[in-house]
Structure 1
Amino acid sequence: MFSAALLPLLPALAAAPPSPSTTAGTAMSNCTTTCGNISIPYPFGVEPGCYHPGFDVTCAADEGPPRLLLHNISEVFDINLPNGTVDIYVDRFVQSSINSSSFPPDVRAYTGVANWDVVGVGIDGGPFVVSATRNKLVLIACDVQVFLMTVDMDVISTCAAFCPPVSKSHEYMVGSPDCSGIGCCQAPIPAGLDVYELQLRRFNGSWGSDFAQVYIVDSELLSSYRMDEMQEEALPAVLEWVISDSPCQSNSTSPECRSSNSFCQNSNTSFNGGHRCYCSKGYDGNPYVLDGCTDINECKSPEIYPCFGDCINTMGGYICQCPPGFEGDASVPKGCKDIDECVLPEAHGCYGNCTNLPGTFLCQCPQGTFGDQTIKGGCVAIRDSLSGTKIALIVSGSLILLLIALAAPFITRKILKQKAKRTREKFFKQNHGLLLQQLISQNTDIGERMIITLREIEKATDNFDKTREVGGGGHGVVYKGILNLHVVAIKKSKIVVQKEIDDFINEVAILSQVNHRNVVKLLGCCLETEVPLLVYEFISNGTLYQHLHVDGPMSLSLDARLRIVLEVARALSYLHSATSMPIYHRDIKSSNILLDDSLTAKVSDFGASRYIPIDQTGVTTAVQGTIGYLDPMYYYTGRLTDKSDVFSFGVLVMEMLTRKKPFMYRSHVGDGLVSYFSSLFEEGKLVNILDPQVMEDDNGGVQEVAALAVMCTKLKGEDRPTMREVELKLENLCVKALAPSSITSPCNRDQISFQGITMETSRQYTMEEEVMLSATYPR
C-alpha cells in the first residue's frame, strides 16, 4: 500500500504574513483591479496594501496573455465574492509507475505500489479549503482503489476503477462516460479539512497497467471532459474561503464587513468555522470595502424583479403599484384592472355626465348647461346672452393670457441665463478655480490672464465649430481660434470622467510653471465647463510624427533631425533638473513633439506628467505611456524615475534615425525596434536599419548618436544617462560636427561663442552653473 500526504491536494496557497501595509483592511485607490479579463475585487489584491492578509494574487504577463495567479502558483479564472469561491486550474497531482516486483513476496501477493511522486504542497493555515459541494476526487487507472483519509488514517471517501482485459494498457484504456468505475471513478470530498491523506491500492491478481492519475475536478464541469483530455491538461477546481476564522458577533456584524449595508454570516466551509460578508437584501456589490454595497435599482431589471405597473425604486427594495385609475396586483401580468369611476361618480367628484376611459374618466356638464361639474348643482342652463360681468371676465382673462404669452420668452431667457451662470460657477469651483486664483495672486510667474471665460472661448472658436478642429491628442480635441488677436490652440476633452479632469488640472499646474523655448507655451485655461479647456500658443507646422513618417523616400534632413533631438533633450533636461520641482513627462513620443514654421521642436501634451519631490528618487504610480516608447522597468514595477523619460527619448532617437514606428515595427525575427536596433549596433550592422536618407547625409556623427540611443534604452535605469548628460553629449557632438565657416549646423540656435566655437545652450542654468559645466566641453 502506498501513502501520499495531500496538503490538501492543491498547489501552495499558504497564507502570507501580513505586512504593515496590508493591515488597513481596505483597498487603495491605485490598486490593480483587473488582470486580463479577470476582475480582482478586494479582499483580493496584487500590490501591498491592496489585499486582506492571505488573499494576495499576482498578475503574470511573462508569456502570452496576462494570467492571474493565486500565491504565484495556481491560475485563477474566476473570483466570486457572494459565493466565497475561487475557480482555479489544477494540474494532475499524482502520476506514477506501479511495479509489484519491487515489493516483498508477502506484500506482492496482496498489492503492488511503488515509485509514486506527489506534486504540490498544502494550504494548511490559510483562508482556503477545497470545496466539498463543487469538487470531486477523480481516479483514472485500471484495477486500482483510491482512499481519501484524515491524518488519523480514518477513511472518509473512496472509489475504485476497473478495466476489461483488452484495455489494461494506458494507451488503450477506455473509461465510462460518467466516470462511474470503468477506467475512471469519482468520490466526494468531505468539507472541513485542509489536510488529507491519500492512499492507492492495486487489486490482487490484477491485469492492470502500471499507470494511475488522481485529480481534483469541479463536478459541475466534469461531464464536459473526456478521460483522455483529463490525462493531458490542467482541470478546473473550486476553493472556498472565509474572510476570518472567527464567528460572527451576536448582531451579525463583523469588522471585516465594512460596507454600511452588509451583514456577517457564519460559514460551514471548514471545521475551523469562520464567516463571510454579504450585501443586505436589495443591495449588491462588495461588502468588504466602505460603501461597497450599493442599492439595486430593481426597476431597471423587470425580468428579475417583475413589475407590470408603476415601479418606484427605494433604498434596499422597490414599490410596484398599479397606475392611477387602475387597481389590482401589479406584480403579475394584466394584474391591474381599470377602475370604472362612473359606477360611483359622486365618489370621484363628478356631478355631470361621466364617461369612463382607460385609467381615468371624463366628467362634463350635460348638453345645454355650463359651469363646474365637480360640485353638486354646479351645472346651470345656458342663457341666450352673456351678462356684462361675464364678458368683462372673459376679456380680462384674455388680456392676462396675452401678456403672459408676450412675457414668456423674456422670462425664459432670463431663467436660462441665470441657470447657465450658476452652472459656470459650479464647474469653476469643481475644477479648482478658486485654487488657481489663489496661485495667481501668490505667484507672479503665472499671468493674470491665465483664467479665461467661456464666452471668450466660444467667440474664439465660433462656438466650437467643427471646421475649427485641427486634430486631437490622447486627452482631447484641439480647436484653432483667435483670442485677443492671437492665433491659439484650444484643447477640449472628449470624455467627461474625473480622471480626464484631473489630467487637465495637472497639465495646468505643470505648464504654468514652465518657461522654455522648446516646451509648448500655456496661455491660459477656462474652468467654467464640465471639463476644463486649455489655451496654448498655436504651433502651425504639425507634429514630428507627421513630418517624419511621410510617404516617399525623403523626409527631414539629418541636420534637422539632430537639431530636433537636441531641442527635445534640452526641454527634458530643463524639466528634470531646472524647475523648482522635477517634472517627469511620462509620454515622450514623436506625435507629442510639435514643430513651428522654422521646425523648432516644442514638447507638448503634459496630461500624464507628474511632479516628483526632489528628495525622492522614484514614485510608484499607475503606469501611463505609449506602447513602444514605454520604459519596461517602469511598466513592470510601476516605479517612475527620470530614467523613464530617458528610455522614451532613446526610442525617439531610434525612430528619427530609422523612420520606423516603435509601436508597430517588428523585424524579420520578431524583435521590436529597440531590441533589433541595439543588436544591429552591437554587431556593427546598423546600416541594415538606418534610413537611407540618414546614411546619405551622414558626416560621421550618426554612429555616436546611435550609441547614445542604445545607452538611453538600457534595461536597467541605473545604466542609462541622465537627460543633462544626454544634452551635454549631444552638444559635444554638435561642436565636433560644426565647421568654422558653417552656419547651418544642427546646433546653431540660441548660440553662444565659446573659445572660437559656436554652440547652443538651453539657457536654463545660472551663470555660475554654466561656468562649472563649461569645464566638460572639449578645448
Structure 2
Amino acid sequence: MPTPSRSQLLQILLLILAGAAAIDGKDEQQPITYPGCPDKCGDISIPFPFGLMPGCFREGFEVTCDHSFDPPRAFLADGDRNRITVTERDESPISDGSYLSNSDSNISYWPVELMDVSVDRSVARVYGPITSACSTNSTNYKLEAQAMTLGSLTGGPLAVSEALNVVVGVGWKVGVTDGSSYTSSSLACRSELPGGHLESARNGSCAGRGCCEAALRQESSTSYGPVTEVAPELSLESNNSLWETSPCSYAMVVEKSGYNFSTPDLYGDKALPGRFPRGVPVVLDFAIVGDAACPQKGKRPPPNYACVSNNSYCVNATVGQSGYALSYVCKCSEHYEGNPYIANGCQDIDECKFPDLYYCSSNGICKNRQGGYDCPCKPGMKGDGKLGHCAEKFPLVAKVIVGTTSCIFVIVVMSFIFLLRKEKKKTREFYEKNGGPTLEKAKIIKLFKKEELMPILKDSNFIGKGNFGEVFKGNLGNEVVAVKKTINGNLLENEQFANEVIIQSQVIHRNIVRLIGCCLEVDTPLLVYEFLSNGSLHDILHSKGKKPLNLDIRLSIAAQSADGLAYMHSKTNTKILHGDVKPANILLDDKFVPKISDFGISRLIARDRQHTAKVIGDMSYMDPVYLQSGLLTEKSDVYSFGVVLLELISRKKAIDSDNNSIVNDFLEAHRRGERATELFDSQIAVAEDLELLQNLAGMAIECLNLDVDQRPAMTDIAHRLLIMKESRNS
C-alpha cells in the first residue's frame, strides 16, 4: 500500500479538526416528549408528562387538541373530572342576609382550556371561570356561579396553586366569600365605594375601592387532597341604587398579577367578561401522585418512576389542600435544563451563552463543559476568570510563548514522522479489527482496497444521509454503485461484524438491495451496494415536480416491498429484522421495482442482543411498543410497514411540518366507523378504486394495532397484497 504524503496527512488532520469543531458547535433542539409523539397543539407546547396521544402521557395528564379552532386549542381531557360548571339562576335578597332563588338553576359544563405548561416550575396555566351577579332591577339579581373542578375524590395530579393565585372581587359594593357562609367574618375580601361614588376607584388598585384582593385559602374551599373545586361566591348588598349603570359584581380566582383592575369594569355587564372571553389565567400545580414518593439515596426507584432522565432529581411535593403524602416532581440538576420526565431530557447548559447568569471575566475565556463551565485566563495571564482574578504575568509570558511554540513545533514534526511510519500498520490493524481475516476465508464477498473507494467519497458524489451513515454515488469499473459510509463507532467489531456481512451477502431477493462488497482498511467499514436509478419512494411521493404514481404502480410497490420484508423475517437462515422501515429506505429501479435498503443495519449496530437503550430508526414510523420496551421484533417492522401503506395511498408524510399525523387521521376515521375517502390521494381516489383503497387502509390499521399479537405477520400481508395485485390485473 503506498505511503501517504506529508501534505495528504496535513489535509486529513485539518479535516478532523474542522469536523470536531462542527460537532462541538452543533445546537440541537431539545426534545420535550416521547419520540413520535406530537409536542404542540396550535401555538401551545405539550411537554411530557402531558400528551395528546395514547402512550404519550402519564395517567391524569391527557390533553385533547380541538382542531375546529384556528389555531387549534388545547383542553384538559376527561371532562367528567376536569371541567367548569356554570350554574345560572335568579335570586332576591331576604331579611336574614341570604338569598332566595326565584327560578330553577340552569347548569352547563365546559372543558378546562390549557394556556401553557412549565415542566421546570411544575405548573400549568389554564383559563379559569368568573362568577358574576348582575342586577336585573333594584332588588333582583341574575347569578352565574362558575366553578372549576380538577381530578376526582380518589386522586389526580392537578390542583389550583394556593401560592400563585389570589381571590379577587370587583364591584361597587361586594364581598367575596370562600363559599362556606355569608357572614362578614367569613369574607375573603370586601369592596366598597362610599356613597356610590365610582370616581373614587383607581385603575390598577385592588385595595377595596371597586376591587378587592385576598390570598387563596384552599383549606376553606371545596378541596380534597389533589381534587380542587374553586368557586368564589359573592355577598351582595341590597338597595343597589346603581343597578342600571353598574349592574354587575364579579368574583374570581386568578393568577397573581393576572388581573389588572380597570375602572370601566364597574360599568355595564360586558366590560370585564369582554376582556377575558375565555376566562382569567389560573395557575395549576402538578405532581406525580400515587403510592410512592422520592426514593431514598441509594434505594431502587419505585415502579413507574417518573424521573427517568439522566442528570435529574426528585423533590417530594404536595398538591391541593392537604396534598398526597406520596407525590413528587422531577427537576433537572444544576447546570442542566430540559424535561426530566423523558429519557435524556435534561441537557447540559452552555453557560457561556448566558454571561449575565454565569460570570466570566473579560480577561478570561469561557469554556463550556459537561455539568458546568471553566473560565481560564487569556494567554499571558494567570488567575481564575470565574472569580475575576486574571493578572498579567510578564515577562515570563514571553518565555512561555517561545517555549510552547518550540515544543509544539517539535511535537508536530515528530508526530508527522510517527504517522508516516504507522500509517501502513494502522491500515492493517483496521482490516483485522473489522473482521478481514474472517471475510477472506468466506470468499463470498468482494473486499475493496481503500484507494478504490476513497475517490468516491467526495462532496460532489454525496446523494443522501440516513440514520446510520452517508451515501455516495460512484463508478467501480462499468458498474454504478452506492457506497455507504457508516457512522463512526456504531458498528459491531471483529468477527461479529464480519459474520453479519456474510449473512447480508447471502440474502438474494429481487426486492432487496444487493450488497456487493465492503472496504475494511478504514476505521469505520465502507459498504458497497447496487445503485437504484429512481431514488427512494419518499422522494417519488413527496418531492415537488415528481409525476404522481398511478394506483397500479403503488399497489405493486406495496406488494413487492412486503414480499422482501417477509423474506427477511421467515425465509432466511437467520431471521433479519429491518428496524427502520420507511419510504426513504425503499429504493426504486428504472422500472419502479422496489428494493428494501438498509435492511440489515439494525443487526450491525453494537447492542445487547435484541434490546437497545438507544432507539434506532425514524421516529415517525417507529412502533410505540418498541419505543417503550426497547425490544425489536418482526412485528415492529409490521407496524412501520402499516405507516408506509398509509403514506402510499394518501401521499402525505407520516408527520407533516405542522405535526399532523396520518396515523392519527386514519385511526380516528376507523374509530368513528367512517370511510377514509377524504384522506386518500386525490390523484388515485376515483370511484371505481375506492373499495381497494379502503381495503388497503384497513390492512394498514391492522398493522398499527397496539396489541402486538393482533398484528398480522409480514408473510400474511405480502400474500394478501399479491392477491389484490393479481385480482386487479386479471
Normalising by the smaller structure, the TM-score range is 0.5 to 0.7
How much does 1:464 deviate?
0.8
Separation in 2 of the partners of 1:252 and 1:636?
A: 25
Separation in 1 of the partners of 2:218 and 2:163?
A: 8
Match of 1:120 in 2: 149
Separation in 1 of the partners of 2:729 and 2:296?
A: 85
Query: Any idea what SS the aligned residue of 1:220 has?
Result: coil
Match of 2:167 in 1: 137
Aligned letter for 1:307?
Answer: C
2:531 aligned with 1:538, yes or no? yes
Q: Any conservation in 2 of the 1:113–1:201 contact (CA below 8 Å)?
A: no
Match of 1:348 in 2: none
Q: Any conservation in 2 of the 1:631–1:644 contact (CA below 8 Å)?
A: yes
Separation in 2 of the partners of 1:210 and 1:651?
A: 58
Aligned letter for 1:200?
Answer: L
2:64 aligned with 1:35, yes or no? no
Separation in 1 of the partners of 2:279 and 2:430?
A: 57
Query: Which of the numbers 215, 224, 227 marks the counterpart of 2:252?
Result: 215
Aligned letter for 1:478?
Answer: V
Separation in 2 of the partners of 1:147 and 1:165?
A: 22
Query: Any idea what SS the aligned residue of 1:307 has?
Result: coil
Q: Closer, same or farther in 2 for the Cα pair 1:120/1:732, shift >3 Å?
A: closer
Q: Any conservation in 1 of the 2:158–2:319 contact (CA below 8 Å)?
A: no
Identity %: 26
Match of 2:236 in 1: 202
Separation in 2 of the partners of 1:266 and 1:89?
A: 21
Q: Deviations over 1:349-390 (max 9, x none)?
A: xxxxxxx76x75799xxxxxxxxxxxxxxxxxxxxxxxxxxx
Separation in 2 of the partners of 1:520 and 1:273?
A: 58
Gaps of 5+ in 1: 1-26, 102-107, 169-173, 340-355, 364-400, 612-618, 666-670, 696-700, 740-779
How much does 1:568 deviate?
3.1
Match of 1:87 in 2: 124
Match of 1:186 in 2: 213
- Taking the TM superposition and a 5 Å limit, the aligned residue runs for 1:249-328 are 301-308=354-361, 309-310=363-364
Separation in 1 of the partners of 2:540 and 2:331?
A: 58
Query: Any idea what SS the aligned residue of 1:222 has?
Result: coil
Aligned letter for 1:204?
Answer: S
Match of 2:190 in 1: 159
Q: Closer, same or farther in 2 for the Cα pair 1:230/1:545, shift >3 Å?
A: closer
Separation in 2 of the partners of 1:420 and 1:270?
A: 74
Q: Closer, same or farther in 2 for the Cα pair 1:509/1:70, shift >3 Å?
A: farther
Q: TM-score, normalised by structure 1?
A: 0.54
Aligned letter for 2:240?
Answer: S
Match of 1:412 in 2: 416
How much does 1:529 deviate?
6.9
Query: Any idea what SS the aligned residue of 1:709 has?
Result: helix
Match of 1:668 in 2: none
Q: Closer, same or farther in 2 for the Cα pair 1:724/1:286, shift >3 Å?
A: closer
Query: Which of the numbers 712, 715, 719 marks the counterpart of 2:699?
Result: 712
Q: Deviations over 1:498-552 (max 9, x none)?
A: 7999xx99x9799568542112123455688787654322224544577789999
Aligned letter for 1:469?
Answer: F
How much does 1:201 deviate?
0.6
Q: Closer, same or farther in 2 for the Cα pair 1:273/1:182, shift >3 Å?
A: same
Separation in 1 of the partners of 2:370 and 2:624?
A: 47
How much does 1:462 deviate?
0.2
Q: Closer, same or farther in 2 for the Cα pair 1:127/1:703, shift >3 Å?
A: closer
Q: Deviations over 1:60-107 (max 9, x none)?
A: 4453658585888453623253xx540311321635667799xxxxxx
Corresponding residue pairs, total = 597
Separation in 1 of the partners of 2:581 and 2:446?
A: 26
Q: Closer, same or farther in 2 for the Cα pair 1:310/1:33, shift >3 Å?
A: farther
How much does 1:176 deviate?
3.9
Match of 2:89 in 1: none
How much does 1:30 deviate?
6.0
Query: Any idea what SS the aligned residue of 1:57 has?
Result: coil
Query: Any idea what SS the aligned residue of 1:567 has?
Result: helix
Separation in 1 of the partners of 2:676 and 2:64?
A: 33
Aligned letter for 1:201?
Answer: S
Match of 1:469 in 2: 462
Aligned letter for 2:164?
Answer: R
Match of 1:146 in 2: 176
Gaps of 5+ in 2: 1-30, 83-111, 224-230, 266-271, 401-405, 605-611, 657-661
Q: Closer, same or farther in 2 for the Cα pair 1:457/1:559, shift >3 Å?
A: farther
How much does 1:271 deviate?
6.8
Q: Any conservation in 1 of the 2:134–2:141 contact (CA below 8 Å)?
A: no
Q: Root-mean-square deviation (CA), in Å?
A: 7.0
How much does 1:219 deviate?
1.6
Match of 1:58 in 2: 62
Q: Closer, same or farther in 2 for the Cα pair 1:413/1:223, shift >3 Å?
A: farther
Q: Any conservation in 2 of the 1:149–1:157 contact (CA below 8 Å)?
A: no
Deviates more, 1:88-97 or 1:256-265: 256-265
Separation in 1 of the partners of 2:46 and 2:253?
A: 24
Query: Any idea what SS the aligned residue of 2:528 has?
Result: strand
